[in-house]
Every structure is written in structure tokens, then in C-alpha cells.
Chain A
Amino acid sequence: MGLTLVLGFVSCESLDVEPKGFYSDENFYKTIEDAEASMLYAYDGLTQVSYAPVTYYLTELASDNCIVKPDEGADAQAFVNWEVTSQNQLLTQYYRSCYIAINRANAVIENVEGRGFNENDENRLLGEALFLRAYNHFNAVKAFGLAPLQTSLIDKLDETTASLPADMQVVYAFLISDLERAINYLEVNRVVGRVDKIAAQALLSKVYLFAASAKESGVPKYETILESVENLYAKAAQYSGDVLFNQGEYSHDLNLQNIYNVEMPNGPEHIFILSMDSSGTAEGDYSKLSKYFIPWIGGATVYLKNIDDSFSPTHDGWSVFQTTDDLFTAYNTDDLRRNNLFVSEVFDETGASLGTTGDGVVAYPFTRKYIDPNFEGDKTSTRPYLLRYSDIQLVYAEAAANAEGLVQYNNIRNRAGVSELADLSGLSKEEFRQLVIEERQRELAYEGDRLWDLRRTNTVQAKVTQAAGLSPEAVAFYPIPQREIDLNPNIN
């Protein structure tokens, strides 16, 4: 007990207890395995319920592709009606989700560079992290315009008040620099749910294309980008060309169904597909995307007819994202993407029809892009398609707007069973690009790109009647969330 007296004099240094039940900056990032786990955490940021599904509220609801079910909350209606305010919860979710994923990417960058890991590992991890940092920033830029650029890991209170970048030139220079570095660091190395060099090239081509068309079409703030429109298109064509012509890993999938087969996330098209699996324990690990796109059909299992007349089961859904007539009628009646990728009739397990869009049993024709016949309850493996080969084909077509581009454009139409465009004669570059954008709507519907296409071509108000009367700024950018303005003295 004399010990007690002694203990009384022990210095306060021993007042620090090491955390033993969780990881922190004190015990993590010691090994390459730690860095790998941290890399996966950055990918995992994309699977958040506040991010992956919310993407479609912005990109599909606010565009001419979808409307929302009537009793979805006011914040969701606001996207359809173009009444999104800085208070919108979904908008805030999306915004902060971008930055959560960014901070996780920054954690990798800061803790991998110069740690003495194997150079191949270091390069690969750095490349992936830089890609993700750019990818998430690009999402923020597409949604909010001038949004904070987080260039380093935030782990202290005084680092939590970022400023806005000066202009779009700064923003795009940052995005381009990250992606150029990523391209340098990365090799071609396909892993489902992760990215490689090709993904970085693909994303960079999209960044250039966005800048090119936005500057060309007079989208506010894009006039500050220094590079000429021509050069921006050329760069977009260059990097998308790298994807199309300089690698053999990814390719155009001739089978339309395969692309959306939930069993084939490693199909030739998928340059970057988010990895989710129905064996997960929490939403985000597994996916409920199907529930958002499929209408409510009595709460039971329904069967969808496949092109070989077999049937695939699926749960029904919540009717959240409902197909517009604009989208459905954008397809020719012989378009395979309409006839094979939309569902207008459902069946029971014996193959007897339960009803159609005609009799109202199926509230609207819904997409087959998010169907998992192996669903368990609400749990599915349906994955967001983040970068698809066809997308890059159309990027190239639009950027090059020449004969080579036409080949890619026709490639896409061919697969869909619709007529090819014989040549570019009589078409200006602008007119051809217009055709490509229309093709993008049909090809990439429900894949989270439509609003961005409308925004960068400054055609939101032409296509979405609800956006009429808004200022060019309000059309081009959502407001920075009020919560950011309230809590960040550097932004007002």
C-alpha cells in the first residue's frame, strides 16, 4: 500500500492511454496493408447511402429522364421542380459525401507518399487515391461549380474551414493535375470496384470534355478557363482515344444484356464500376438501387421476361425514380435499349402476366439496368456504373467530331439495332455533337450523367421545362449548402 503514495507522485505523462479498441493516427498507417485498407475506405466512401443513391436525385430527377414519386419528401420534389435551395437535405448529403470520400483519398495520399513502401505499391495506391480525389471533386464541381478543393487530409479543427477556389481555371488545373499524376502512377490493372490507368484516362477525357463544352456553350464561370475550346476538345479526344485505341483490357461489349448483368461486373465495358454485394450486412455494402428504380407492384416478387423467353425474378420497388415520357419516347420503337432494357410487363413465377404499364399494374416502364435476380429481401448487388467503355466512345465521338468519332457513334447505335449515320456530310461539328448528346441520353439513361450533359451544353432549360425562368447561374450550379455557409466563416 506504500505503493499508493508513490503512485501519487507519478507524473502526468501516464495520463495518456493508448487506444486499444480502435484505429487512429497513433496506431495506423504502419504498413502497406494499412495503406491498402485505407485505400479501400476511400472507395467505400462512394458506396455511402448518402452518396451513391443520392447521385440519381441530382442527375436523373433534375434532368428530363425521371420524375419522383408524389409522396417522396419535399427535398426530392425540389429536384424535379428545380426548387433546390441551400437548405435541401439531399443536396447537403451529396455535398458532404463528396468531401468524406475526398478526405479518405487524402488520407492515403498523405500516408503513402515517401513512407518507404515498395515503389510499385506506392505508385498504385497514390494513383488510385489521386483518381478518387479528382473523381469526387469533379462531382462537387459538376453539382456546385466553385466548391472547396481539399488538397490535404483534415484531422484538426483549424483545418475545417476551407475557402472557395478563385475560379474555374484553378479548379480544372487541380483536377487535370491529379488525373495526369494518376495516369503516370497507374498501370493497366483491372480489379472490379477499383480503378487503373484506363479509368484515369477515361475520367480525364470527361473532365476535358466538360470544360470544352461548358466553355463553348457559355456556361457561367467557365470563361475563366485559359485553354481554348478547341484545345480542350482535343485533349478530351486524346485521352478518350487512349482508352479506345491504346489498351486491350476494356472493350465495347456487343451484347447489350451483358453490360447490365449483375453477375458480370467484370464485363469488358466496365472501366470503373462500384463494388457492392448482396452478401453485405448494411446498406452501402449491399445495394438497394433496384428499389429506387422499380415501381411498387404489390410488394411481391415479380418475374421479368428475358430475351430468350426465360424469366428472372426480382423484388418490386419503391417507385422513387419514375421514367418520363420524354425519355421513353426518345428511343426509336425498334431500339433494343427500349425493347430489351425497359420493362413494361411483369409476370408471376408460372409465367402468367401480372399486368403491364397499360393496365397500370406497372406504374411506368422501368429500367433493367438495376435488376438482381439473386436478391435477398431488399439486398441486391446492383452497382452504379461509374465509367463505361460506351461512355468513353461517345466522349471520343463528341470531342473528335470527325470520321473516327462517327465510327464510335455508329458502334453504339449499331448495338442498339438502330440506323447508323452514314457520314458527317452536311453536319456541322456542333450538330454532330448534338446528336452524340442525344445518343448519350439513350445509352447512358439512369447511369447518373444526364444532368451533367445538359449543364455542360447549357441546354437544361431547353430540355427541362421546370427549369424555365431561372438564372444561368441557378441552372448551372446548385447552391453551396447552407450548413457549409453557416459553419465555415471562409465561405459566405
Chain B
Amino acid sequence: MNKQNRIWLLSAILIVLCVGTINAQINIGGVVTDQLGLPIPGANILEKGTTNGATTDFDGKFQLAVASKKSSIEVSFMGFQTAVLQVGDKTTFTISLKEDVAALDEVVVVGYGSMKKSDLTGSVTSVKMDDIPSKPSNSIDGLLQGQVAGVQVITSSDDPGAGATVRIRGGSSLNGGNDPLVVVDGFPIGYAGDLKQISPQDIASMEVLKDASASAIYGSRGANGVIMITTKKGAKHTTEVTVSQQNTFSSFTSDLNLWRDPVLMAELSNESRINGGFVPLYIGTEDANGVYYPSLGELKDGSWSYNTKWDDVVFRSPVSNNTNLAIRSQTDKTQFSLSTTHFTQEGVYIEDDYKKLNINLNVIHKLYDGKVSVGGNVIYSKGDRTNNSDLAYWRNPIFPVYENNDPTQDYFLAGSQDYSHPIALVENRTNTNEFKDFIGSAFVDIQLLPSLKLKTQLNYKTGQSITDYYNPKIYTEDGTFNNGSGGINNWDSEETVAETFLTYNKMFNEKHKFTAMGGFSYQYYEARSSDLKAYDFLNESLGNGNLAAGNPEKQTVANAYTETVMYSGLGRFNYVYDDKYMATFTMRADGSSKFGDNNKWAYFPSGALGWKMHQEDFIKDLDVFNELKLRASFGISGNQGISPYLINSRYGQDQYYVNGGWQTAIGPGYVVGWDSQTGKKTWGGIPNPDLKWETTRQFNIGGDFAFFDRKLKVTLDYYNKYTTDLLRERLLSPSSSYDKMWVNDGEIENQGIELTINGTIFKNEDWSFGGSLMFSKNKNEVVSLGNELSSGLTTDALTGIKYEFSGSTVEAFRAIPNILAVGQPINVFYGYRVDGIVQSEAEGLAAGLTGDLAQPGEFKYVDLNEDGVIDEDDRSIIGDPNPDFIASLNLQASYKNFDISMFFNGSFGQDIFNTKSFGEAGNMPLRWTQDNPTNSYPSLRDGRTNYMSDWYIEEGSFVRLQNLSIGYNLNDIDLPWLKRGRIFVNGTNLFTITDFKGYDPEIGTDGIYWGGYPKLRNWTLGVEFTF
């Protein structure tokens, strides 16, 4: 219930109390219900044309004395269409209110307040959880996928407990992070991607603040957009107990592409090694590491008969379980909600598990006739992860699991340096993580004056994580090298956010509606970590249980501490004239300990205008639009994803061996990383007193349209996001003794279009059919990477484009595939071009290739600059991992109590660098040979220097049936103890249409495909009962 309504209600009650009993001529009474017949408490009954009225009680009943039979009564309740009835002869009424399909008065949560959706001037999308039922997800990120235009959610990992990548309107930062801020019930608890503390079952709605007018109120944390989460509170005037249970069964979407025929594998391996000038492996002798490889003959005649399906050894069909029990209750004064969620998830690898328990308690209590409300929220979350997600399903099939394939014998190890035996690792090593989180918040909301409200909210969050590991003396590399190694990593963080703001709400002359809000915010964050390691264990039976048992001379400890403080002032001013013209202005000032002394305070203003054209007579006369609203906004928001302390000088620490022992050495110069080319340390530690946030200016223009009694709704937005002062490292002259320093230098632009179409295609008492289509196109461009010299940019020989490499080296190519290039989208691919395969040495030489590279069967690299030689100058931009557009389609249908929904998700036009295009079981047999002079694949040759080339680039467009859900609602079941029930089946990742040759095209934003295993398909059975 928003403020205006609350005030109105309050006054209505007062009026009723004072006036209602004076002229009692006809007494009427009755009950007000919703369409399901459930009573509506607190509905207003007003004798039309008078101030005489009443409200319904807890059971929806009312009594009212009206003037005469000719009187009309008006029955209204928020969210329902107002009913008007002539009193006539009746004295008892059963009034069934229809829900307001127009929902114009839907309230949406915005930063530091809420407002009527119709009064919004910014680009805000609201997702009500009731609208996306039975979508199983263990994190809030998954729920958002495909629900909001302009929001891209990538779930590239099927690891248990894995997070997702969430981008709102593209990435606008290189080093400051691109994850949107997440605010839960007013508490900015962190950034999207891995928010495990909030159970999806506890969420009532999510609002995505996309443009600057909406997000600038979050200032230096708003540039990536903001996701506002509202959790479920008490049920409406009743007590409800809800139990839900979901079980998910998963399996691979396709077969694994592994060697099944050891003879073929061995033949091709030998061929490759011989071509490379190496001694072949499969010749029936031991190799340099003492591993015996059988000869082809032994493999063929079955005298070496092992053919292990390692994927069967390593993988399983995982099952997840999600149980939620919630009690929600509301009385006139108090509402509370207690919800517990227990979630267990099996990984597809054996012994790879995730477990989580969330408890969420929420209480709100009203005092002094509702003028004061106090409330609190406590979330406790704990869980653990046993990590075995690195097991070698790709292991050579000629190796048995156990000696002689006999499970009673020892593991079969391939030589003394075999560190990939999956069963040995699972049974002997430790790698677990435990986490605990506590989130608490308390608020007081005081109605100081009818038009003035004060809210203070204090939020606290703490999290702990402990990682335990032990690598035994055999089976692991680290353990072998160190004679056993174990350790414990501890991490602990604390965050306090205290906010107070005043909201003033007033309507003047029935036409001028003002809302003003102003307040302060204080935020304190601290994180500590410690890292204990020990090596060289006498006895391994305790694992890492007693690190002191390791060799005392080899124990190491490390710890770290960070602390940040932020003060903010903020304000918003809304004005609506005549319910037609709207203006919003916001302002936030952030002062952060992370900012340099010369830039301590950041200011983030925004402004927006809106015009409800459908309120104008000339639009009404057209009789086309139910809604026609135009919006325009401009604002500035920031990204303060800077590590703390970059504004401080920072000394380095090392040790120097003096007088027979190590002594601590400390001084200027601190290791900030390792150079990707030389592998040597890079030095920093010089402070930058000018360091500040990244600044994003965003312009947004859009419109909301509704037609055919709001059965068709369209929202269209265009935005332009321009980010300056990109946080980057500049190079310093080597004679300064420093290599790098953090500065603000560089610019990125994102612009795009978002379109949402919602339609109710057909609806009657039994049937309904509708859907929504979302389309987002974002164009990203690196406008500037700062000063060419101080940024150390390289010039592309052919085009003169300035660029730098981004990311890390892919070993197989000894190249970094992605670059940041001025004038190009983020992370385009850079490399050589390939024009088929060299068929003869003459052809190779003619193409400018030399030596091994000119031989038949090699890649025919293109001499792009036509200088007669293939060298680094022949590289160019060869692909773009950013999609041209993303789209999703939701279809929903229901018949009586059955419903079905389908959700298609698609991404179009992105390129993928497929590192597994060659060298895998599936494609090696297709190699070039003298007998198979193909132009599609090169020959097999061990030791070939692979260059990063467009031969490895594939189009990654896909359309996926992400979700199919069939449910049955038990509404009419005549069980007195059961209020509602629902049974559903849900399938995710059911099929994918794509030309991509790897397992799945949904990968990280850098577009590099690393192989791995197929994506999982999940079937979930769920039941939910409310008592």
C-alpha cells in the first residue's frame, strides 16, 4: 500500500468515525470479497456524493447507514476495480470486486521509496514472482533470465552452487566490475551473480532499474543498473503455512565426445607424433615418465583389453532437492513471515556436492494507529560445498581404474607422475568449503505529519567462509612435490549500512502532486582473510586437521584486511501535474574512502520527464490507446569497483637471508601482478590521489503503450550509456621503479533498443492464452583506451587500430584471444585468417609460409598485408563475442486449473572461439592426410605451433527452449485444511537450435569455449501446498 492510499484510508476512517453515524435512515450491510470469494478486509464503502462511508472488517463485512434507496454506494479497494451499486430494496449485499486488470496503480519499488507504476518516468521493469510460477532456480539470477528486456543472464556453469553472469544494458567497465547492484528490502547487499543468501521462494517481486533516472539514486554503485528485491511479507489478514518441495533430476543433453575406440585413438596419436618428428607412444614400451603404452598390435588383438569409459566412472545423474516451509501471518497490527529453505544439489561429478540452509524471519508491527511501524528482517544462511569438479573424465581409456581392472587392488596409476586418477583423488584428497551468512535489518517508519514520513533503516551483514584442503603425498602434484600439503583459508566480512530519509507527499489543488525525499546513508565494510598452509607431513591420516603436524620450517601464513567507508546524501523530487505531466529529479553525493584525496566526493544528478498522453483528450478521442506514455531521462551514475587503498602508498614485503636466517624486508614497491609476456613481477604501490569512480552518463527515451483494453502492452526504450574515466592501469617509466599505477582513463559507449510486447491473446472463464516477447539489442564500443603511450597500446599494422590484449593467454595458442580495440566492441577476437589447408609445399611457399608451416596439411594462413611473409602483422580482428541481439519469448496458456508455460531464450550473432575445433575424438579422424586432402582440417602433427586464427571462430547464435512448465492448481478441492495447492513438472534446457559445434554455445562474455562436458537438462517435480 503506498503512501497516498494510506493517508487517504486514514482520513476515510476518521471521517467515518466522525460523520458516519449522524443520519441513519437505511441500514445496509454485507460482505466484500474477491473473485474467488475470499473476504476483503479494509475495503472502503462510500455513499456516493457524500463523505459517509465505512470499511470492511476482518471478515470482509460492513455496516452502513445510507440516506435513501436512491443512494449509490461505491466500493473500492486497492488493486481492484471500484464497484458502484444502487442501494434499492436490498439491505444485504455480497459484493465481489474484480481485480483491476488495468493495474495502473501497481506499486513498484524504486530506490528509497516506491511509486505508482503509472507515475514512473524512468526505465524500470517489475517482475512479480506470481507471474513466473514454478520456475525452479536456486538463485535470484536464474529467475531473471528472459524476464526483462535489456537484462542478459548467462549461466555457463552447471557446477553445484554456481552463479550466473548478469548484465544490464551491456558491460560498461573493464576493471570496475559489470554486475548490477542488488538491494533487498532497502539493503544494498551486494552485486548480482552469486547471491546465495536469498531464497527464490522468499521473493515477492524484483524491480530492475535500468536507466540513470532510476539508478542514479544509488550514485557510485548505480552505473551497472540496480535490482531491487522485495521479499514476501505476511499473508493478507490470515495465517498461511506453505510447504513446497522440488526435486530436480539432471542428465547430459548429449553424449560425451570421448575416445571409445582405443585402436583409432592410438593410431591417430602415433600418426600425430610421427608427423611431428617424435617417437610414437603406442609401441609397447615405457615412455620417459615410465608409463607403459601398449602397441597397436596389443590393442588390436585384445592382449591389452582395457577400454575404460571414464565418463561413466566420473559422472552421475545428479539429483537436487529443494524444500521450503513458510509461515506467514498478518493481523491489523503485526505481520510476520518465517521461511526456511533447505537445498541440496549434486554436481554431475561424483562426490561433488552443494548444500544450503536459509532461514528468513521478517516481522513488521504497527504502533499508534499505524502511524509508526517498526520491523526487522533476519536471514541466516549456511552451507557447504565438497568440490570434485575437476575429475579427469578425459583420461586415457586404455588405463583401467584399478590394477588388472580388479577393484580390490590398487588404483592403476600411469607412472609416478599421474595426478589425474579421479577415484584416487575423490577418495584421498580434501577440498571443501563451508560458508555462513547472517543478514539483519531493522527499520522504523514514522508518519510525522499526514504528508511527512521518516524512515530509518539499519542493516547489517556478515559472512564467513572456510576452505579446507589436503593434497596427499601420492595422487596429487602439490602433495607429491611437498610430501603432503594442506591448508585452511578463512574469510570473514562485515557490512553495516545505516540510512535515514524523509518523504514528503502532498497534493495541491487536486492537480499538483509533489513527492520529495531526502536522506543520508552511511556504509562501512570490512573484510579479513587468513590463509594457513603446511607441508611435509609425517602422517597423513588427519589431512589438514592438524596443520602443526607439518614440517615446522615449511609452514606459511598470510592474512589480509580491508576496510571501506562511504557517506552519502541523497534526494529525489517528483512532480505530477494533472496526472498528465511528470518530472523527476534525483541527486546523490557519495564520499568514499576509496576515492583519492583530490576527488573525495562524487555527485550524481538525474532528471526525467514523462507525459501520459492517454490522459489528453485528443488521444482519448482516438480511442486506440489505453495507455500512451512517453518518457525521457538523463542522468549520471558511477561505478566505484575500485580496490581499496589504491590511493595509499603501499610498501612491498619480502625476505632476505642474513646471518643464517630469513629476515623480513620491507620497502617501496609492491608486487601487483605478473607480466603476461615475461612472467616477471610487475611493481606498483605508488598512490594516485586523483583516483575516482567511473562515470556513466545515460540518456534514455522510451514509451509505454497499451491497446485493446490493455490486452496488448508494448514498452519500447532507446538508451545511450557513455562511460568515462574508466578505471585502468597506466604504465610508468621503468626508471621510476614502478611498472603500473591505477588511473581513470578510457571511455566506453553502449547504446541499444529494448522492446517488450505483452499480450493476452485469448481469455475466458476456462481458457487463457498469452505471451510476452522481449528483444534487446546492445551495441558496445570501446571509444578510448586512454593515452596511447601510457596505456602501452599496440597498433594494428593494417588498420592502424590501437589495441591491447585483454584476458589471459590460452596455452594451446600461446596467445590472448581477446583484445580491447579503440572503435570496436569489447573483447573482439584478434588473430590470423586461414584460407583452407595447404595442399602442396609449393602452394604453402607461394602463400608466404615457410618451414614446417608451408608443408601440406598445415593451415594456410593468409598473408593479409601481402608482404610475402606470414608474421604478426598479418593479424586482424576476426570475430566479436558480443551478440547482435538477444530475445526471449514466454508463452502461457491455462485451461481451468491446468497451466502450461514455455520460455524460449535466444542470443544471436555472437562469435565463439572454439578451442576444441581440432584435436578431439570427434574431429581428429577428419584430419588432412595424403589420402584425404581435405580443406577443412589440418593434418595431425604433434608440436605444431597453433596460431590464434579465424579457423577456430564459429557463430554462436542459438535459440533454446529454456523452460517448459506444466502445472495443476488445486483450487477447488474441498478440503477444509487446504487453501491452495499446486503440482508441477518443469523441464529446463530442453532443446537448443544452434550451428555451434561444441557442446553448448552459452558461454562467458569473452566468447572463449573451453570444451568441458555437455550442458545438463533438468527435470523438476514440484508440489506446493498452502494451509
Contact flag A280-B657 (CB < 8 Å), given A96-B739, A154-B736, A483-B731:
yes
Q: Contacting B591 at CB < 8 Å: which of A15, A191, A193, A281?
A: A15
Interface string of B497-521 (1 = CB under 8 A from A): 0111000000000000000000111
A193 surroundings in chain B (CB, below 8 A): 656-658
**Secondary structure dominating the interface of B:** strand
25 contacts across the A-B interface (CB closer than 8 A): A4-B456, A4-B500, A7-B522, A17-B563, A17-B644, A25-B651, A26-B648, A37-B663, A37-B664, A38-B667, A41-B653, A44-B654, A44-B665, A48-B681, A96-B735, A148-B735, A154-B686, A154-B738, A162-B736, A191-B659, A194-B658, A275-B657, A280-B655, A285-B655, A483-B733
Min CB distance, B754 to chain A, in Å? 36
A218 to B677, CA, bound (A): 39
B595 surroundings in chain A (CB, below 8 A): 15
A160 surroundings in chain B (CB, below 8 A): 686, 732-733, 735-736, 738
Min CB distance, A135 to chain B, in Å? 15
Min CB distance, A311 to chain B, in Å? 25
A15 touches B734 (CB 8 A): no
A284 surroundings in chain B (CB, below 8 A): 654
B70 surroundings in chain A (CB, below 8 A): none
Interface stretch, picked from A102-110, A388-396, A445-453, is: A102-110
B458 touches A41 (CB 8 A): no
Q: Contacting B645 at CB < 8 Å: which of A22, A103, A157?
A: A22
Q: Contacting A104 at CB < 8 Å: which of B593, B601, B645, B669?
A: B669
A25 touches B669 (CB 8 A): no
Contact flag A4-B499 (CB < 8 Å), given A15-B593, A99-B734:
yes
Min CB distance, A297 to chain B, in Å? 14
Interface stretch, picked from A234-242, A407-415, A420-428, A484-492, is: A484-492
A279 touches B592 (CB 8 A): no
Interface stretch, picked from B34-42, B339-347, B552-560, B706-714, is: B552-560
A243 within 8 A of B: no
B569 surroundings in chain A (CB, below 8 A): 8
User: Which residues 303-360 of A sit at the B interface, judged by CB distance below 8 A?
Assistant: none
Add 6 more A-B contacts to A99-B737, A107-B668, A160-B735 (CB < 8 A): A21-B560, A24-B651, A26-B648, A42-B667, A483-B731, A484-B735
B666 surroundings in chain A (CB, below 8 A): 23, 28, 34, 37-38, 41
A277 to B556, CA, bound (A): 17
B positions within 8 Å CB-CB of A: 442, 444, 456, 458, 481, 498-500, 519-522, 553, 556, 559-567, 569, 591-593, 595, 600-601, 644-645, 648-659, 662-670, 677-678, 680-681, 683, 686-688, 731-739, 741, 789-790, 792
A285 touches B560 (CB 8 A): no
A7 touches B520 (CB 8 A): yes
B556 touches A99 (CB 8 A): no
Interface stretch, picked from A87-95, A367-375, A458-466, is: A87-95
A32 within 8 A of B: no
A277 touches B499 (CB 8 A): no
A5 touches B667 (CB 8 A): no
A481 to B664, CA, bound (A): 32
A280 surroundings in chain B (CB, below 8 A): 655, 657, 662
Chain A residue nearest in CB terms to B456: A1
A102 surroundings in chain B (CB, below 8 A): 737
A155 touches B733 (CB 8 A): no
A487 touches B790 (CB 8 A): yes
Chain A residue nearest in CB terms to B569: A8
A161 within 8 A of B: yes
Chain B residue nearest in CB terms to A92: B734
A7 surroundings in chain B (CB, below 8 A): 498, 520, 522, 567
Number of interface residues of A (CB under 8 A): 79
User: Which residues 1-22 of A sit at the B interface, judged by CB distance below 8 A?
Assistant: 1-5, 7-10, 12, 14-17, 19-22
A363 within 8 A of B: no
B649 surroundings in chain A (CB, below 8 A): 24-26, 155
Q: Contacting A24 at CB < 8 Å: which of B522, B553, B648, B677?
A: B648
Min CB distance, B536 to chain A, in Å? 11
B657 touches A277 (CB 8 A): yes
A38 surroundings in chain B (CB, below 8 A): 665-667
B665 surroundings in chain A (CB, below 8 A): 37-38, 40-41, 43-44
Interface string of A466-485 (1 = CB under 8 A from B): 00000000000000010110
Q: Which of B565, B651, B653, B662 has the most C-beta atoms of chain A within 10 angstroms of its own C-beta?
A: B651
Min CB distance, A369 to chain B, in Å? 19
Chain A residue nearest in CB terms to B787: A487
A161 to B444, CA, bound (A): 56
Interface string of A169-198 (1 = CB under 8 A from B): 000000000000000000000011110000
Min CB distance, A140 to chain B, in Å? 9
A125 within 8 A of B: no
Chain B residue nearest in CB terms to A89: B678
A457 within 8 A of B: no
Min CB distance, B217 to chain A, in Å? 16
Chain B residue nearest in CB terms to A1: B456
A50 within 8 A of B: yes
A19 surroundings in chain B (CB, below 8 A): 645, 648, 650
Q: Which of B442, B566, B683, B688 has the most C-beta atoms of chain A within 10 angstroms of its own C-beta?
A: B683
A43 touches B656 (CB 8 A): yes
B561 touches A20 (CB 8 A): yes
A377 within 8 A of B: yes
B678 touches A96 (CB 8 A): no
User: Which residues 106-133 of A sit at the B interface, judged by CB distance below 8 A?
Assistant: 107-108
Contact flag A12-B600 (CB < 8 Å), given A17-B564, A42-B667, A194-B658:
yes
A96 touches B565 (CB 8 A): no
Q: Contacting A157 at CB < 8 Å: which of B663, B667, B688?
A: B688
Chain A residue nearest in CB terms to B498: A4
B556 touches A281 (CB 8 A): yes
B658 surroundings in chain A (CB, below 8 A): 40, 191-194, 275
A276 surroundings in chain B (CB, below 8 A): 657
A17 to B646, CA, bound (A): 12
B500 touches A483 (CB 8 A): no
Closest 9 pairs (CB-CB, A-B):
A8-B520, A41-B667, A96-B734, A160-B736, A40-B665, A103-B737, A21-B561, A488-B733, A41-B665
Chain A residue nearest in CB terms to B595: A15
A104 to B561, CA, bound (A): 25
A8 to B567, CA, bound (A): 7
A47 within 8 A of B: yes
A194 surroundings in chain B (CB, below 8 A): 658
A217 within 8 A of B: no
A48 surroundings in chain B (CB, below 8 A): 681
Min CB distance, A40 to chain B, in Å? 4
A150 within 8 A of B: yes
A25 to B563, CA, bound (A): 18
Chain B residue nearest in CB terms to A480: B735
A71 within 8 A of B: no
Chain B residue nearest in CB terms to A54: B680
Contact flag A487-B651 (CB < 8 Å), given A192-B658, A193-B656:
no
A192 to B498, CA, bound (A): 57
Min CB distance, A315 to chain B, in Å? 14
A488 to B731, CA, bound (A): 10
A89 to B734, CA, bound (A): 12
A430 within 8 A of B: no
B520 touches A5 (CB 8 A): yes
A487 to B444, CA, bound (A): 56
B735 touches A192 (CB 8 A): no
A161 surroundings in chain B (CB, below 8 A): 733, 736
A17 to B665, CA, bound (A): 25
Q: Which of B444, B595, B663 has the most C-beta atoms of chain A within 10 angstroms of its own C-beta?
A: B663
A256 within 8 A of B: no
Interface string of A204-239 (1 = CB under 8 A from B): 000000000000000000000000000000000000
B567 surroundings in chain A (CB, below 8 A): 7-8, 10, 12, 14-15
Q: Contacting B520 at CB < 8 Å: which of A4, A107, A191, A275?
A: A4
A10 surroundings in chain B (CB, below 8 A): 522, 567
